[in-house]
Structure 1
Amino acid sequence: MSPAAAHGARAGKDEEAASMTTPTSSPSPNEPGERPLDGAVVAVAGAAGPAGRATLLRLAEAGATVVASDYDPARLAEAVDAARYAHGGASVTGETVDLLDLDAARSWADRTEKEFGRVDGLIHLVGGWRGSKTFADAPLADWDTLHNLLIRTAQHTSLAFHDALLRSGKGRYVLISAAGASRPTAGNAAYAAAKAAAEAWTLALADSFRKLGGEGGPSAAAAILVVKALVHDAMRAERPNAKFAGFTDVKELAEAITGLWDRPAREVNGTRQWLTPKP
């Protein structure tokens, strides 16, 4: 693998694992006054970027225990501290994980479940982009990089967390994809193809949840949130005259992620939810 791929796929450890108690039944609905994710444990892969920071903040605000990872320990620590500071008393931890290593991803899932007793979500925010001016100019090395960043990491997190999400009774696996996967452009061939492959893999995960749910329906759900591109406050400050038409604000993305627990798994599983107009 290329150094860039390995660097981008490392997704930030503070405490050792403790004893595990695995839930055997679905949690009861929220009691009056409870936040929507009180008691939930959610892992976030690729948590140090703007989308990750917004997601950590929103999950902590909703009451979740958040277990974050990223390739950059310093940026991850800043993101974790920001979420803790914004929501006093929130449980937000960070751990460095090489998501190009399936065993490392599985160890992360196992440690998280052992320490916190359950895993109710995996938010896959690991990303990357490569493009070219024309189709003929596209270097195939871009495919190698994007295969690792966008596909291989999604394969590893989904395989690693599959069983824990089922045991949760309300597990959610969330992939962030791009509108370009549905309508590739000449200069984005490798990127669009990689995003489409990651979507297909996630829909196969959804089918596994459906089949294992039996007649009662799935107890866990895998869903895809589709954006054109993401925008955040710093981008707007740098380009005050830009329209960012069709872009999704990272805060809106974080809200959509948190909202996936508001509906039953059977309504969420296998869905592609558009946060931008369809092309």
Structure 2
Amino acid sequence: MSKAPLEGAVVAVAGAGGPAGRATLLRLAEAGATVVASDADPARLAEAVDAARYAHGGATVTGDTVDLLDLGAARDWAARTEREFGRIDGLVHLVGGWRGSKTFAETDLADWTLLEKLLIRTVQNTSLAFQEALQRSDRGRYLLISAAGASRPTAGNAAYSAAKAAAEAWTLALADAFRKAGGEDGPRAAAAVLVVKALVHDAMRAERPDAKFAGFTDVADLAAAVAGTWDKPASDVNGQRLWLTEQP
């Protein structure tokens, strides 16, 4: 019987404390991965890690509070993870944030200042910190969760959409690095963008029982899509935008 793609893999999850992070930790642990989670909020992180451990008693799920705005801290996290577990097979980037306005004219550039840090700088730092370890893996994946608004920005979401578009471009540049490193044999690792309209989870449905959430992606479905990227060859995943909602 062949080994499942994530059995024995070591996967880091950045921004693991939110609903999407919780669902992803659960799905990866269920698939047999060792999961190394980080978040800027230690309380939320501890709750997410405990939930994954409780749901999957045999799983190794650890948590580390890491300042991903600090490249040195991100590099230390990657080095510590590889040293402790012997390998790194994935980085799932879930660090998020949103700011917007009613109209384009009302855009507050302070929103850009914040979103540039949350949505771009954290991607830069995690990709630079984890690239080499992912290339050493036989199944490395760098996965960015992005939004459809990056491809079709709306007037009130200029800062958010521009930041997401920049993060996508950065991730696809990493994909090109993986392609070049693989040479004629094709990439050993893959970087890809999973695109959603927005995310929904049970607490949101409970708060708004009459809402339709049309086109939204449930966090459990996102987690399944994340895990599913290990079911395909790196060459089929690398450099791709994987749409989980209708493509504009």
The interval holding the TM-score normalised by the smaller chain is over 0.9
Provide the rounded CA distance (Å) in 1 between the counterparts of 2:149 and 2:189: 27
Q: What is the match of residue 56 of structure 2?
A: 87
Provide the rounded CA distance (Å) in 2 between the counterparts of 1:37 and 1:132: 41
Provide the rounded CA distance (Å) in 1 between the counterparts of 2:48 and 2:110: 31
2:93 matches 1:124: yes
Report the Cα offset of residue 35 of structure 1.
Answer: 3.7
Q: Cα deviation per residue 1:120-140 (whole Å; 9 max; x = unaligned)?
A: 000000000000010000011
Q: Which amino acid aligns with 2:70?
A: D
2:58 matches 1:61: no
Provide the rounded CA distance (Å) in 2 between the counterparts of 1:38 and 1:66: 11
1:97-116 map, 5 Å: 97-116=66-85
1:12-161 map, 5 Å: 31-32=1-2, 34-161=3-130
Q: What is the match of residue 196 of structure 1?
A: 165
The alignment partner of 1:261 has SS state of helix
Q: Cα deviation per residue 1:169-206 (whole Å; 9 max; x = unaligned)?
A: 11000000000000000000000000000000000000
The alignment partner of 2:231 has SS state of coil
Provide the rounded CA distance (Å) in 2 between the counterparts of 1:36 and 1:215: 23
Alignment length (residue pairs): 248
Q: So what's the TM-score if we normalise by structure 2?
A: 0.99
Partner residue of 1:165 out of 134, 142, 145: 134
Provide the rounded CA distance (Å) in 2 between the counterparts of 1:216 and 1:35: 23
Q: Which amino acid aligns with 1:248?
A: T
Report the Cα offset of residue 36 of structure 1.
Answer: 3.4
Report the Cα offset of residue 278 of structure 1.
Answer: 1.2
2:220 matches 1:251: yes
Q: In percent, how many aligned pairs have the same letter?
A: 80
Q: Cα deviation per residue 1:148-169 (whole Å; 9 max; x = unaligned)?
A: 0000000000000000000011
Provide the rounded CA distance (Å) in 2 between the counterparts of 1:36 and 1:252: 18
2:146 matches 1:186: no
Q: Cα deviation per residue 1:78-98 (whole Å; 9 max; x = unaligned)?
A: 100100000111000000100
RMSD (Å) for aligned C-alpha atoms? 0.7
Q: So what's the TM-score if we normalise by structure 1?
A: 0.88
Provide the rounded CA distance (Å) in 2 between the counterparts of 1:75 and 1:202: 26
Name structure 2 gaps, 5 residues minimum.
none
Provide the rounded CA distance (Å) in 2 between the counterparts of 1:93 and 1:66: 6
Q: What is the match of residue 177 of structure 2?
A: 208
2:241 matches 1:272: yes
Q: Which amino acid aligns with 1:272?
A: R
Partner residue of 2:207 out of 238, 252, 260: 238
Provide the rounded CA distance (Å) in 2 between the counterparts of 1:171 and 1:122: 8
Provide the rounded CA distance (Å) in 1 between the counterparts of 2:147 and 2:178: 23
